Structure 1
Amino acid sequence: MDRYERFRRAAIDRGIPDDEVDKFADQLRFAIWLGTCDADEEVVGQDGGLPRLPVGMGWPGSEIGSPLPFIASVDCAALPRAEGLPLPVDGSLLFFLHHEEDHEGAAFTGQSGFAQVLYVPAGTETVVASPPPDHDSANFFCEDIPFLLPEHRLTAWVEAVLPDWLDDEEEAEFASDAAKQLLDELKHLDQLCALVDELWPPRKGSWFHIGGYCAEIGGADPPWTLMAHANLKKRFEAEPDLPRAERIRLRQEEERRLIREWVPLAQFPTESDVYYGCFLISSDDLAAKRFERTRSFTMFTE
């Protein structure tokens, strides 16, 4: 029995109508959370330290004269499976990000050259990478964050995730018209949210997660909104007289499509106090292992 079916059966057993359960379940996602590994837990990856790169491969970013800080790596074969998240069954994923440069260059498009996800297929011969020359320049980060960070082993588990507007009254005030309509239709919302927490109690200690929804950080637009604006920019420029209400409707419709079709491949706080990393990929590209199409939207937290 998968997690969605487990949730549906438990909700219906409590007398909640089928159609309401299905509408709520459509908003429910499952994410893989990663945190520091205790001695008795399975190791699924690492953050910090030095990555294992394919033999003969240079440090990512070095070819453009800007080596990228290594964030984390995960062993896909060791990760728990999460519904709706078609990760590779084996091989490794490595994440690199220069958060300051990415934040400045990736607005709207998510493509800056200062973020990279590397997929290393199973069976590839790898070696522990040597740090790039002059990597710890004092000016690399404005906050003087070291290029190389201490290594920690990571473990992983699966948690349920809901969109912020579904279980937060303040966020609900700013939700789209479609979301507000759904909230009106969910007469057992509190019971459904409580059931999610009961079935999958949140666990402390995570700092990195794969899947779920994009976190909305600070006062800036979330990645879905930025992508929707970018996708609609040419149309809005070609139709300058398009009414504001229609522009809002089209943007919200585009955001809903993006939320359905794209998933966060990684989200994490950076070593900076004011930047948060977010890698996005379409479900189709994830299933096809087209990680070169990953987009990065580093968010400013203030």
Structure 2
Amino acid sequence: MNRYEQFRRAAVDRGLPEDEVDKFADQLRFAVWLGTGSPDDEVVGQSGGLPRLPVGTEWPGTGNGSPLPFVASVDCALLPRAEGLPLPEDGSLLFFLNHDDDMEAEAPLEEPDHARVVHVPAGTETEEASPPEGHATRTFFHENIPFLIPEHRLSAWVRPVLPDWLEEQDAEFASDAVKQLLDDLKHVEELLNLVDELWPDPNRGAALRLGGYCREIGGQDPPYTQMASAALSATVDPDLPRAERTRLRREEEHRLNTEWLPLAQFHTTSEFYYGCFLISTDDLAARRFDQMRSFTMFTE
């Protein structure tokens, strides 16, 4: 029995209406969280340190050849499975990000130049990469953060994740579809409580999250709003009334939120920046990691 079936069976056994249970379950996602664990936990990846790259492969960099800082890597074969999250079943995923330069990027619809996801297929001969030339003198902004950071081993667990509007029961700034859905859920408190009962919070800090929903960090527009605004700017008549343009943007945000998910989101080495790599579910299933879009968010 998978987690969705477990949730539906438990909800129906409590007498909750099946149509509401299904609508709620459609918003429920499961994410893989990774963090430092106890010595007995299985190691499934690492944050920091040096990445293992295919033999003969150069350290990933920008278009002008500037190397990108290594964030973390995970062994996909060792990760726990999360329903609805079509990660590769084997091989490794490596994440790279220059949060300073990515924060300044203004092309959310294009392949990022300051972030990269590398998939190393199973069976590929790899070696620990040598540090890029001059890495000891590379620092970020005015924070004096080194290019290389200490290695930490990561263990993994699965957590349920719900959209903020559902947990807060506030759809004031959401699309019409979301407002209608929240209005249809007459037993939302019972359904939220059931999620907490089935999957209690383990009270563990996560360094990296795969899947789920993108967190809204700081005061800037969240990633889906940025993507929706950029997509509609080329197609929507600027003379449309503001209310109509807002409605269209919210509908586009809802569509993107349905079709895209955070491949990885994480705190950077800076207390001021948070990284989020978005990818469509179809591209993730097809391992088209070059279609990832990166959004570095300022935390204040």
Q: TM-score range by the shorter chain?
A: over 0.9
Alignment-derived partner of residue 160 in structure 1: 160
**Using the alignment, how far apart are the partners of 1:252 and 1:145 within structure 2?**
38
Could you tell me which amino acid in structure 2 is paired with residue 77 of structure 1? Answer: A
Deviation at 1:301, TM superposition (A): 1.0
Letter in 1 for 2:280: S
Displacement of 1:185 in angstroms is 1.8
Structure 1 residue 220 and structure 2 residue 220: aligned?
A: yes
Q: Residue in 2 aligned with 1:27?
A: 27
Q: String of CA shifts for 1:88-137, please: whole Å, max 9, x gaps.
A: 11000000000010010145336431100000001111110110011132
Alpha-carbon separation, structure 1, partners of 2:40 and 2:172: 44
Answer whether contact 1:62 1:132 (CA < 8 A) is retained.
no
Q: In the alignment, what sits opposite 1:292? A: 290
Tell me the residue number matched to 2:82: 82
How many angstroms apart in 2 are the aligned matches of 1:62 and 1:108?
A: 16
Following the alignment from structure 1 to structure 2, what is the Cα–Cα distance between the partners of residues 154 and 206? 9
C-alpha separation between the residues in 1 aligned to 2:110 and 2:144?
A: 25
Taking only aligned residues, the RMSD between alpha carbons, in angstroms, comes to 1.5
In 1, the alpha carbon distance for the partners of 2:74 and 2:95 equals 9
Instruction: Flag the 1:62–1:12 CA change in 2: closer, same or farther, 3 A.
Output: closer
Helix, strand or coil: the match of 2:157?
strand
Cα distance in 2 for partners of 1:160, 1:280 equals 18
1:117-266 map, 5 Å: 117-137=117-137, 139-169=139-169, 172-203=171-202, 204-236=204-236, 239-266=237-264
Number of aligned residue pairs: give it: 299
User: Is contact 1:105–1:111 with CA below 8 Å preserved after alignment?
Assistant: no
CA distance in 1, matches of 2:98, 2:263: 17
CA distance in 1, matches of 2:107, 2:215: 16
- Matches of 1:255 and 1:270 in 2, distance apart? 26
- Normalising by structure 2, we get a TM-score of 0.95
Q: Point out where structure 2 has 5 or more consecutive residues left out of the alignment.
A: none
Q: Cα gap change, 1:153/1:12 in structure 2, threshold over 3 Å: closer, same or farther?
A: same
| Preserved CA contact (<8 Å) 1:69 1:97 | yes
What code does the residue aligned with 2:12 have?
I
Q: Residue in 2 aligned with 1:269?
A: 267
Any conservation in 2 of the 1:266–1:278 contact (CA below 8 Å)?
yes
- Displaced runs of 4 or more, over 4 A: none
- Among the aligned pairs, what percent are the same residue? 69
Is the 1:110–1:296 contact (alpha carbons within 8 Å) kept by the matching residues of 2?
Answer: no
Measured in 2, the distance between the counterparts of 1:184 and 1:119 equals 42
| 1: CA distance, partners of 2:4 / 2:253 | 24
Secondary structure of 2:82's counterpart equals coil
Q: CA deviation at 1:253?
A: 1.5
CA distance in 1, matches of 2:141, 2:56: 28
The letter for the 2-side match of 1:294 is M
Q: Report the CA distance shift for 1:215/1:37 in structure 2 as closer, same or farther (over 3 A).
A: same
TM-score normalised by the chain length of structure 1: 0.95
Partner of 2:112: 112
Structure 1 residues 140-181: Cα deviation after superposition (integer angstroms, max 9, x where no partner): 432111111111110111110000111125x54433333232
- Aligned in 2, Cα 1:62/1:173: closer, same or farther, shift over 3 Å? closer
Task: After superposing the two structures, state which structure 1 stretch, 131-140 or 68-77, moved more.
Answer: 131-140
Take 1:86 and 1:125, find their aligned partners in 2: how far apart are those partners?
Answer: 24
Residues 43 and 154, structure 1, Cα contact 8 Å, conserved in 2: yes
